[in-house]
A and B are shown apart, each in its own frame.
Chain A
Amino acid sequence: MAEKPASRWWIAPAAAGVAFLAGLPLLLSAYTVSLLISVLAYASLATSWAFFSGTTRYISLATAAFVGIGTYTVALLSDHLPLAVVLAIAHMIGFVIALGVGLSTLRLSGIYFVIFTFGLTELIKQLVIWFEINQTKTLARYIFVNASGTLIYELLLATATIVIAGVWWLSRSRVGYALRVIGEDEMVARHSGIDTTRVKVLVFAATSAVMSMVGAVLSLRYTYVDPNIAFNSLVSFQVLIMALLGGIGRPWGPALGAVPLVLLSELLSGTFPHHFGIALGICFVVIVFFLPGGVMGLVDRWSAWLPRSALRRRKES
C-alpha cells in the first residue's frame, strides 16, 4: 500500500519524455524522423502483439494481415474521405475481422488459432488481389495523402503512447490478470470464473485493431502500394521477435525490442532487401537454440529478472 504513490512517481517524467519526443522533429533531419517513425510503428505493433500473444501464449502469426488491412483501407478510401475517418475505419475493419477469427478459433485448441493466423495474411492478400483484378483491373494503388513526415511521426507517437500506457494500465487490471491466468492454465481460469473466450476474443480484436491503425498511418509514407507490399508475412515474424527480445513481462519491453531490429532492417534493406529475412531467421534460430528455457521460457525469464520490488508493486497495485 505504501508503494502505491511510489509506483506512480515516474508518470511526470514519462509525460515530459513524451513531450520531448513530440518536439523532436523540429530538431532532427527528415531521415532520422523516418527512422523514428519505423521505431514507433513497430513499438506499437510489438506491444500490442505481446499483450495478447505473449500473455495468453496464443501465438498470432497474423500481424502482417492486420497491418495490411490498414494500409489497404487508406489506399482505397483516402481519396474519398477525410484522414481521421479513414483511420477510424481502418481500426474498425481490423477489429471486426479479428473478432471473426477469434470467435471461430479461440474457443478451440490453440493450434487452430496458429494455423488460421498463419494463413490469414495470405488469405486476405488473395482476396484483395481478387477484388482489385475485378474492380480496377490493376494491382497498383497510389496514395495521394498530403501527410508530412512530422504528421506521421506525431500520429504514431500518439498511438505508441496510448498503446504502451493502455497496456500498462490494463495489465494491472482484471483484464491483465485474466490474460495471465489464461496463459498459465486455462482450466484454472475457467473454474475461477473467467469468461475465457470473451476475454481472449475481445483482447485479440482490440490489439489487432491497433495493428490495422498502425498500418494505416504507416501507409501515409507510401505513394504506391500493391498487395505484395501491403501483406508481407515477414512483418509478423519481425514483430514477434521484437516482442520476445524486448521481453514480455513488462509493458515497455516489446517497444525496446523494436529499436535494434528497426536499425538492422534499415542497415540491410537498402542494399540487400532479401537478406533481412535470412539474417532475421538465422539470428532467431540461433537465439532459440542457445536459450535454455526456449522461446516461451524467455517469457518466464523476463518476468523472473524483474526486481522483486517491481514484482510486488505490480501484484499489489
Chain B
Amino acid sequence: MTAGPLLAIQGLSKSFGGLQAVRDFDLDVPERSIVGLIGPNGSGKTTVLNLVTGEIAADGGSVRLDGREILGRPAFRVCRARIARTFQLVRVLPGMTTRENVLIGRLFGSAPATPEHARKEIDALLDRVGLSDLADQTGAQLTYIDQKRVELARALATQPRLLLLDEWLAGLNPRELQIGIELIRRIRDEGMTIVMIEHVMEAIRALCDHVVVMSAGGLIAAGAPDSVLNDPEVARVYLGDDDA
C-alpha cells in the first residue's frame, strides 16, 4: 500500500432541484486519523456522508477508498468495502433486541458470518460499548444514549476500516460526553479511521487531528482544530453575525 490517504474525496457535488447541497467538495482522510467535519445546519455535512455511503447518487466527483473508486456503488457494497456509518437521527430497529441489532452488522457486513459464529464476538462488542446489561431489551425500550451506543456497535460489527459518525455525540449530558469521547478515542487507538460530523467543540478539540468546515455546500476552512476553531471566518459562519 502506498502512503496515500485511506479516503480521498475530490470534486464531490450534489444538488437537490435548485439547491446546491454539496459543491466541489475535497477531503483527504489519512489512515488512523480522526477528521472532524463541522459547519452550520444545512451546510451539507450529512449529504456528504450520504454520497460517500451510496445512500444517494452524486452529480459528479470521485470518492476513493485506498485508491479504489467507490462512488456509484450501492450502499450495501460500500458497507462491504468496509465503510460503516451512524445516522444523525438514530436508527435502531425497534422490534429487535440490542444483541440482534448489533448482530446484523456482523451477519452482513464486510466479513459475513452465520448467526452461530457471530455470537461470541457480538457479546464482546456489546461489552466494549457498555451494552451488556441491555442485550435482551428491544430497540424500542432503550434510552436515547443507549440507542446511540447500539448504532455505534452495529457499525463496528460490520468490521469497517473507516467509520463515519453523524453527530454521534449530540444530545449527551456532560458525563456521557466524556464516556463517548473516551470510547471514540479508544476505537481510533485500535486502528480505526474516523470522520465525525460534530457540533460539540469540546469533542472536536479533544479528538480531531484535522478539521474541515463546510458552509452552504462548500469547504471554507481546513486545518488543525485550534487554528480552525479560532478562525474569525468560521465563527462568523457559525454565529451568523453577518448581514446574510
Contact = CB atoms under 8 A, between A and B. Distances in A.
B134 interface: no
Interface in A173-227: 173-174, 177-178, 180-181, 184-185, 187-196
B55 interface: yes
A200 to B, nearest CB: 12
A5 to B, nearest CB: 14
B14 interface: no
Contacts of B105: 192-193
Contact of B100 (A191, A300, A315): A315
A275 interface: no
A193 B96 contact: no
B109 A316 contact: no
Interface string B68-84: 00000011101110001
B107 A191 contact: no
Q: Specify which of B104, B119, B154 lies most central, judged by the most chain A CB atoms within 10 Å of its CB.
A: B104
Contact of A181 (B79, B84, B104): B104
A185 B100 CA distance: 14
Interface residues of B, number: 35
Chain B interface, DSSP helix/strand/loop, else mixed: mixed
Contacts of A191: 53, 55, 75-76, 78-79, 84-85
B94 interface: yes
A192 B95 contact: no
Contacts of A172: 115
Contacts of B108: 174, 177-178, 192-194
B59 interface: no
B110 A193 contact: yes
Contact of A192 (B54, B74, B115, B158): B158
Contacts of A1: 119
Interface in A142-183: 172-174, 177-178, 180-181
A167 B107 CA distance: 19
Interface string B16-28: 0000000000000
B112 interface: yes
A193 B84 CA distance: 9
Given A174-B115, A187-B55, A192-B154, 18 more contacts: A173-B115, A174-B108, A177-B103, A178-B107, A180-B95, A181-B104, A184-B94, A187-B87, A188-B91, A190-B75, A191-B79, A191-B85, A192-B104, A192-B105, A193-B79, A193-B80, A300-B95, A315-B97
The 9 closest A-B pairs by CB, nearest first: A193-B108, A190-B75, A193-B79, A184-B93, A193-B109, A194-B108, A195-B76, A188-B91, A193-B80
Interface of B: 53-55, 74-76, 78-80, 84-85, 87, 91, 93-97, 99-100, 103-105, 107-110, 112, 114-116, 119, 136, 154, 158
